[in-house]
Amino acid sequence: MKLVEFCKERGITVTAYSPLGSGDRPWAKPTDPKLLEDPKIVAIAEKVNRTPAQVVLNWSIRRGVAVIPKSVTESRILSNFQIFDFSLTDDDMLVLQSFDGGDKFRSCVLEWVSDHPLYPFHIPF
């Protein structure tokens, strides 16, 4: 069972750290995927007349996952709140779900504790 569903069944709210892909994280490599520039996400954003950030945030809250996007840019902070007045289609949701990188990619890896018995990222999300 995926962690989000496991927690939902037990009344535990999951929070998405780095819900925009943390593009400015210090440990980003040039070859890492750039979530907000991905053509599939940009296409959905253009279709629903929203920003890529609004699309990925809407996807998370629709799954029942809380989001804590960070921005130092006032216009982005404001637009990141405008995510409760539109809906993605089920097909759009599936496209976003397909971005699950599993063990192949995570923005926050916490690799220095990856051998801890309670390290969370061995569990599918």
Enumerate binding residues for ligand NAP (CB under 6 A): 17-25, 36, 51, 53, 68-73, 76, 79-80, 108
Cβ 35 vs Cβ 41: under 8 Å:
yes
| Closer residue to ligand NAP in complex, CB, 5/18 | 18
Q: How far is the CB of 9 from ligand NAP (least distance, A)?
A: 25
Q: How far is the CB of 42 from ligand NAP (least distance, A)?
A: 12
Q: How far is the CB of 25 from ligand NAP (least distance, A)?
A: 6
- Taking each helix axis from N to C end, the angle separating 39-48 and 52-62, rounded to the nearest 10 degrees, works out to 90
- In 20-111, where does DSSP find H-type helix? 39-48, 52-62, 74-79, 90-97
Cβ 52 vs Cβ 96: under 8 Å:
no
| Closer residue to ligand NAP in complex, CB, 4/55 | 55
